[in-house]
Amino acid sequence: MSNSENNAIVLFDGVCNFCNGSVNFVIARDRKNYFKFTPLQSEIGQKYVRQFDLSDIDSVVLVENGQALTHSTAALRIARQLGGVWSLFYVFIVVPAFIRDFFYKLFAKNRYRLFGRQEACMIPTPEIRKKFL
88-99 pLDDT, tens digit per residue, is 999 999 999 999
Taking the C-alpha atoms of residue 121 and residue 38, their distance in angstroms, rounded to an integer, is: 10
Mean pLDDT of 25-53: 95
Per-residue model confidence (pLDDT) at position 120: 62
Per the CB < 8 A criterion, the answer to whether 110 and 8 are in contact is: no
User: Of the candidates 88, 97, 79, which has an alpha carbon nearest to the alpha carbon of residue 29?
Assistant: 79
> Is 1 part of any domain?
no
Strand 67-70 to strand 35-39: parallel, antiparallel, or no bridges (unpaired)?
unpaired
> Is 132 part of any domain?
no
> Is 3 part of any domain?
no
pTM of the model: 0.86
> Is 48 part of any domain?
yes
- Domain containing 35 equals 8-127
Total domains in the fold of the chain: 1
Strands (E), 42-115: 61-64, 67-70
